[in-house]
Amino acid sequence: MIHVKNLYKTFNPNTQTAFHALKNISFEVKENELVILSGVSGSGKSTLLAIIASLLKPTSGAVIVHDKQVAKLPDLHASRFRNEDIGFIFQAFNLFDTLSVSENITIPLIPLGLSQKEINTKVTDAMNLANISHKAKTTAKDLSGGEKQRCAIARALVNRPKIILCDEPTANLDKENALKFIDVIKTLKAKGFTILIATHDSIFENLPEINQVIHMNNGELV
């Protein structure tokens, strides 16, 4: 499903402050796999996820998703690709504090021109999957950390993308909520999603659902 080939990313190239964030990264992810990108902070995990999601352009190399070269898509096509194929769960949740849970989850649907009935159905399904339906009308600023995470999961799921990318998803959670997050991930894998998680949290070690662990250090595969 995902092919990463000879990927390089350099920030500030051709300057004295050039930073080589990724160096010759290559790997493949099959459909319905759960893959862990493991490494300390600064190892390049977040940059790699951002390039797979077409949020960043690589310096060179290729990212192919569903036989489509996505790494260098023009902005409009990259936006469409993310909206249709990628659900991204950010470390800081990236919710709008003054909007309710259901309103936050609705945001990715706004450009699609759906009917209100279709929107309601998609939002309800996503909230049920993420176990956050009981907080539908609660504003994001009034949620706990674990509830914010589940709202972010539901927002990532609302378009039913085939791929879920998670960037340090347990970094702002206590152990109890981190374990609840893992339960949600197990459910999503059982439902056929392909999931990549960038993390240095040991709580993911030895989960039987994991298909691959890709170790990174200093922008390279270990």
| Homologous superfamily in CATH for domain 2-221 | P-loop containing nucleotide triphosphate hydrolases (3.40.50.300)
Amino acid 46: pLDDT: 93
**Residue-range domain boundaries for the chain:** 2-221
- First and final CA of the chain: distance in angstroms? 22
Residue 195: partners with Cβ closer than 8 Å, 6 or more residues away: 33, 34, 35, 163, 164, 165, 166, 185, 188, 189
Amino acid 120: pLDDT: 95
- Do residues 216 and 44 lie in contact, with contact meaning Cβ atoms separated by under 8 Å? yes
Amino acid 42: pLDDT: 87
Rounded CA separation 179/188 (Å): 14
Amino acid 92: pLDDT: 86
CA distances to 1, 65, 66 from 214, rounded to whole Å, are 16, 18, 21
Amino acid 73: pLDDT: 87
35-50 pLDDT per residue, tens: 999 998 889 999 999 9
Instruction: Flag residues of the chain having pLDDT under 70.
Output: none
Amino acid 17: pLDDT: 86
Nearest C-alpha neighbor of 82 from the set 96, 68, 93, 95: 68
